[in-house]
A and B are shown apart, each in its own frame.
Chain A
């Protein structure tokens, strides 16, 4: 298998805060890796330690223990940074700049010549739908616009790896779909995408693999299909008995065929039969509940 793009080994971060230097273990020994070309979801409830982990990967904060590597190099490494794009959580940018100036500034930090920077800036502004607002100062941008501008500046170096912290937060459903499509198109360009989210449907729709993080610990890593137990929860049957709808949940042990035959013989119409397997949502709830039970 190709070398991992991101490697995290037993990563830990303890914050000391406040006057009494109270300690918070935000990340408690994470180990996972992200492989080339995959979309990797980093999911967990708020406060799980996603942003803290990503900040360590991006060299914004230093690990208390453990290592993180980007493209085979220990963080921070200038060569690796050159090939990475990053969108911070709820990004903030210089308010005195316009959208276009900001993306251009990002390009200058990669030392891109103007001949590359200019057309790429316009292309990216167009890609995120900000061409019309490109000359507005950023203080006039909405949260969603800043989020999209954040994506544009993250892609200015045509990165191999894209790290996105909550890329869908602050967006309306249409905006969310646009970002999802964009992440999908990054994959088809062969880029590796690592993104965090607390919104499960985003992860389910996009990811090849994901890691579930709760209270600073990883509960599971793998392809979604494996994380979700393949076991059937129940089968939902909706019948129409002479105009009156009836819903039945059959437990996995029950014989669905026999039930349906009996229902049809009894004069009912079958409206729908849905086998309900576990969703990421269920898994999430299960993990968080298990964690609370342990407290």
Chain B
């Protein structure tokens, strides 16, 4: 356990000393702050716009940061040969991957927390009184970030950052639009139910990221909105978190399986 922690801490430290990550993060915070300015232009809608832009920003930048760091996480170690000295140390390969992943999780947690704090301060200035709705919304986005990270790390155990980034972004986009895709499949393949069920099965295997960004849609037939006071319940958040963490664990197990079998040449 100590060793996994040492690897996680080292990974966190590396990220903290990476200037590019700061640049992305500062940009994200500026975007959230800019929501305030946009809000000023529209009468009485300031808070609404800040919420939408802020959550959107956290979602997009959280995922960008996750993909960006995730696809490099293991690949860079192999490419730069930094793991040559450490794989022979008394650690299992799975401990190495898990430590790297946890280090990245630590980094992303700090980043999501920072963006959330910026958003909350912005909203508070606009007269928002803290409620559980925004906490639940941010928590869902955070779980989504963890899931996307696991997928990026999975690809980075056997593929270049560029390809891993494309694959992960692809899965993200498909995962975000599962209901639309289901509807599309239903309409397009009315006459060939076997094709439709195969495609539906494929979608079933891919992560359902739609679970994590619910505002403005229907959840179990009930409209959910961060504005109207009919947002998803804590029970829903718990369920979605369970799904996200379970899915991440499976993907990570696969990543470890591949990483444990490969040659470091």
Contacts and interface: CB of A to CB of B under 8 A. Distances in A.
Contacts of B261: 62
Interface in B13-63: 13-14, 17-18
A109 B17 contact: no
Given A109-B90, A109-B91, A60 B85 contact: no
Interface stretch (B76-84, B112-120, B169-177): B76-84
Interface in B55-104: 80-82, 84-92
B10 A88 contact: no
A187 interface: no
Nearest to B11: A94
B84 to A, nearest CB: 4
Which of A59, A88, A92, A94 has most chain B Cβ within 10 Å? A94
B2 interface: yes
B265 interface: yes
A111 B87 CA distance: 15
Contact of B89 (A61, A87, A92, A106): A106
Contacts of A93: 82, 85
A88 B81 contact: yes
Contact of B88 (A81, A92, A96): A81
A92 B83 CA distance: 8
A98 B264 CA distance: 25
A197 interface: no
Nearest to B2: A111
B190 interface: no
B86 A109 contact: yes
A88 B90 contact: no
B74 to A, nearest CB: 14
A259 interface: no
A207 interface: no
Given A59-B88, A105-B10, 18 more contacts: A55-B264, A60-B87, A61-B263, A79-B90, A82-B90, A91-B85, A94-B14, A94-B82, A96-B13, A106-B85, A108-B2, A109-B6, A109-B86, A109-B91, A110-B89, A111-B3, A111-B90, A153-B85
